[in-house]
A and B are shown apart, each in its own frame.
Chain A
Amino acid sequence: MVNPLSLFLRPKVTEDFAFRDEELEALGAEIKKTIPKVFGKSLAIRELDSGSDNSTEIEISNLGTPYYDVERFGVSFVASPRHADVLLVTGAVTLNMAEAVKKTYDAMPSPKFVVAVGDDACDGGIYKGSYAVLGGVDKILPVDMKIPGNPPSPKEILKGLLLLMKQASK
C-alpha cells in the first residue's frame, strides 16, 4: 500500500520523462498573447465529430493531456456549444449527422468560428463520392479555417488555431 500522505510529499510528476518541447512552448506563448486580441481572456472550444475515424478526436483530446496541457495557454474545451467561441469539426459530414451538426452550430452564440480539422473535414477526403457523406464541413457550415492532416498532430491543430486568431484579429 502507498501511504496516502506520500502523495502530497512527493512531486506529482514522479517519472523522468523529459517532455519540455521548445516549439510547443513558443507556440503556446504566442497563442496566449493572441487570444485577447479576438476573444477577451480565453478561448472556449467545442469539439464536434461529424463522421471522423476517431483518430482526430484522439489528437484533439491529446491537447488536454500533460504533454500539451493547453489550458495553461488559455484554451479550454467546453461541454456545450452554448459556451463555445470555436467549433472544431472532425470528419466528412455524414448524412446521419448532418442535422445534429446544424443544431450544434445554431446553439452557439455569435460571433462564432468554425474550424475543419483533418483531411476528411476539409474536403471529404477519402469519402469523396460516397452516398453517405455530404463532403467537407463547408458543405453545411461556413468554415473559417481548415487544418488538413490524416490526422493533424496536436501541434498542427494549435498552429491552425493561432492562424485563425491572427486572421480574425486583422
Chain B
Amino acid sequence: MNTALSWIKAYVPELSCTDQEYRDAMTLSGTKVEGFERRDKNLEKIVVGQITQIEAHPDADKLIVCQVNIGAETIQIVTGAKNVKVGDKVPVVLDGGRVAGGHDGGPLPENGIPIKAGKLRGVPSNGMMCSIEELGSDREMYPEAPEEGIYIFEPDTEIGADAVELLGLRDSVFEYEVTSNRVDCYSVLGIAREAAATFRKPFVPPVVSKTGNSEDVNDYVSVEVIDQDLCPRYCARVCKNIKIGPSPKWMQRRLAASGIRPINNLVDITNYVMEEYGQPMHAFDLDTVAGHKIIVRRAKDGDMFQTLDGQLRKMDSEVLMICDAEKEIGIAGIMGGENSKITDEVHTVLFEAATFNGANIRKSAKRVGLRTDASGKFEKGLDPRNAEEAINRACQLVEELGCGEVVGGMIDVKTPLAPLRVLPFEPERYNRLLGTNVSKEEMLAIFARLDIIYDEKAGTLTIPSFRQDLVGMADIAEEVARFYGYDRIPTTLPNGEATSGKLSYKMRIEQKARDVAENFGFSQGMTYSFESPKVFDKLLIPADDELRRTVTISNPLGEDFSVMRTISLNGMLTSLATNYNRRNKNVRLYELGNIYIPRQVPVTELPDERMQFTLGFYGDGDFFTMKGVVEEFLECVGLSKRKEYDPNIGKPFLHPGRQASIRYEGKVLGYLGEVHPEVCDNYGIGTRVYVAVLDLPKVIPFTTFDRKYEGIARFPAVTRDISMVVPKDILVGRIEEVIAQRGGKILEDYSLFDIYEGSQIKEGYKSVAYSISFRAKDRTLEESDVAAAMKKIINGLSQMGIELRQ
C-alpha cells in the first residue's frame, strides 16, 4: 500500500519527524515500511512565473523568446513549447536548478537533469518552463496538464510561489507492507492510527456529519440479500442531481500519490473513501438498475457476465452477484458490470458499501480470473461496522464537493453485528509471556491510543471492531510489546531443565556418508524431489515397472516438476550431464535425498520417504572404484562382514554386464554399475558413467558405531598363494565365498592378485590367483594347521570344477 505522508499527517496533525524517523519508528511498531520516495526528488529552484511577453526567435522558426516574471525579477527564457501565451502562469526552473525528467516522459534519470543559463540559437535563456513530465509525473496523475507543452497553473496562482509545493510534490510517498491479520491497516486511517500511537500524538480522524435531504432512500431503491452467508452487510445510499466534473486538486493529489488515476469527482470519491477507510465502494447508475431493486445472490453455473472493463466472463454458482430486478449488474466485491457503468450522463447514483465473505471473494476472484483492488481488500474479511462509516463519508464528500444531492437515509441489510469482543485485562500474564516488567499504567496508556477501552470495574478490555485480530491474551501481549518497544524487551536465555543436544542416529549415518564420499573425491550435489514422468523413459524403465507408480502433484509448475521421484538417478545423471556439457573433467558427485514411494495409487496416505545415498562419476576410475567407495562407507558405519554382489538384477538403466546388487547378510542394500550407454545418450553424456545407490533405511539396521579393540597380532602370519584354473562363468565372489567358509578360525585375509584369460589357458576357463593368509591369536601356527585349512579350501574349490594350476 502506497500513501503520501501528508495524507497521514492530515489525521495526525502534530506528527513531526523526518521521513527516515517515520520509517524506522513505524517499522519497529509493526507497520513495516518497505520504502519511501520524496516526490520532490530532483526538483530544485522551481517557481511560478508569469509570461509577460512573447517574441519570435530571430534565428529559429520553432523557438520563441519569453519574458517571464518570477516575482523578484523578470527573466528571459527561450522555449519550443507551443501552448503558452502571454499571461500564463507556469512552473519555471531557474539557473542552477534541476528537473526530474525530460519532456518526452521517458524513464526518470537517477539524478535528474540540471538546468543552466545558456544560449539557444544565440539568444540567452536563463531558465526553463516545465511540462508535467519534466516535473517527474504525467497526465494520468495530473489530468489538467496539457497533452503537450508547458504545465499551466490556475490564473489566481501567486507569482514567485514554490511551484513544487503547489503541485503537491513537497511530500513523500511511503510503501507499507501490511500483514494479513491487520485488515484495518489497509487504509489511510488505519495507518494514521498506528502512527499516532507510535509517536504518541493525538489521532484526529475525519468527522462524518449527518448527510442527506429530507427524502427517504427507500423511495428510490430496495435491497434484498438472498445469500446472506456471503454478504453479512449491505449498505446503500442514493445521490441525485449528479454533476460530473473534476474532483478538487487536493483529492487528485492524494489519489495520485497512492497510484490511483483521478477520473472525475464521483469515481474519485469512491476511490478516495476506499483508500481512506479501506472499504471498497461501488457506484451504480440507478437509472440502469431495473426495478430500482438490488438483489444479492449467487450466480448460476455457466452464466456469462460482462464486467465494466468490457470482458465477458464465466460465472459459477459460488460467485456472488449483485443483480437488479432483471439481470446481473456486478460481481460482488470484484467488479461492476458494463451494463450499469457510470457515464458522464449519470443523473442518480446508488452507492454500495457492503461486507462480503472474504474466503468466497478470494476464491471467486481466482476462478473468475479477476483480482481487483476491491477484491484484494474484501478477501481479507472486512469489518461490517466500517461499511456504514465509509458510505456516510462518501455522501459527505458528495455534498462538500458539490457533486450532487444526497438522499436521506441508508438502506442497511445485515445479519446481526457481532458484539464487541471483551477480554480480561491480565497485565501479569502479558509480562510473564514477554519477560518484561511493564507497568499497568503504561499498558493502559498504550490501549487508550489503540481505541481499546478499559473497564476498571470489570477489569476488562473492549476491543474495537476494526481489530479483528485481537482475540486472546497473547494478542494483547503483542500490542503491549509493540508499543512498549520490541527493542526494550530484555534479552535472556531460557533456564529450564537441561536437555541434551544431538543429531538423530540417521543423521549421524548420513554425516558418515558425506565424510566417506568426500574423502574419495565426491562433491555433494542437491537436486529437486520432483521431476518429469518422462524421466522413466530416459532411464529405459519399462511401462509396467513399479517405479512408475508415483506420488503425483495435482497442481505442478509444469510436467517437468510433476511427479515425486521414485529413483534418485535422474538428478545425478542430469547433474553429471551439466558438468559434462561444460567440459568439466573427472566429475564425482554424491547426493543424500529422499525418494517417495507411494503405499498405494492413487495416494491415500503419506508415502514412504526413503533416504538415498547416491554416488556417480565419470572420468578416472571404473566399476571397482565405485565398489571400493561403497565398501569403505559400509565398513565405516560398522558393516564389517562380507558384502555380496549379485550381477543378475536386470536394472534396465545399467550396463547389462556391469551391474550388481549390494547385499549384506542376505539383504539387498542397493546397487551399483556402469550406466547403460543408451541412457548416457539420453542424457547427452559421451563417456562411461558409474553410479551407486544405497537405500539408507536398508543399511541403517546393520550399522553401529560400537568398536571393540581386538588386539594387534603378536604371532606371525602364514601366507599361501594358490593359482587356479576356473570355469569362466564362476564369479570370483564364489571363490571368496568358499575361502571364507572353509578357511576356519585361523583364516585372516585373502586377496586376489591375478586374473587372466588368454591363450595359455584352455578355452572356457580363466586363471585366478589368490593370496591367503592365516594367523592364530594365541600361538605360532604349525604347518599342519595351515595345510589342513588349505586342504579344506581346495576341496571346496574342486567341487566347483576348479583346478589348481601347477
Partners in one complex: no
